[in-house]
Amino acid sequence: MQYTGGMIGIVFVGNLNRVLGDARGEAYGRALEAVAGASTVAEAVEGMGILERMQEAEVAEARAVMGALPRAVELAILGATTAGFERRMPIGIEWHRGEEISVTVREEVNEVRIILTSPNGQDFL
């Protein structure tokens, strides 16, 4: 996991990477189902149960960031995770603090890597 930003990024991204990074894990299978039934990143994350492991303030910040994602960014994230799931590849998430919201998707040798850049979640609260 790579990270440059506030505490929420460490907790949220760490939880996501634990679930998505082990393509043989039971949680990965549940995540696959959550993403398949989701039309937004927030729905997918809620379906994975990621937020249940976080404190209330962290959840509010994560939801604020997810709620601010432009539709094109959401579609890129959902598409990249779906492509990884279809091939049972580990999926790695990075978050970097930046002025604007953007996403970069890379396919590495054995992993789909999603790099989200956004302002700090507290900026959206």
What pLDDT score was predicted for residue 107? 94
Distance (Å) of CA 70 to CA 18, 56, 66, 76:
25, 24, 9, 10
State pLDDT tens for residues 72-105.
Answer: 999 999 999 999 999 999 999 998 888 899 999 9
Query: Nearest 5°: CA angle at 77, between 61 and 26?
Result: 85
pTM of the model: 0.88
Residue 41's pLDDT band, with cuts at 50, 70 and 90, is: very high
Question: How does the average pLDDT of the chain come out, rounded?
Answer: 88
What pLDDT score was predicted for residue 2? 42
- Which tokens in the block code for residue 15? 């939880």
CA-to-CA distance for 115 and 13, rounded, in angstroms?
11
Q: Is the pLDDT of residue 51 over 60?
A: yes
- Which tokens in the block code for residue 78? 């959902």
What pLDDT score was predicted for residue 17? 93
What pLDDT score was predicted for residue 3? 38
Cβ within 8 Å of residue 94, ≥6 positions away: 1, 2, 3, 13, 113, 114, 115, 116
What pLDDT score was predicted for residue 13? 87
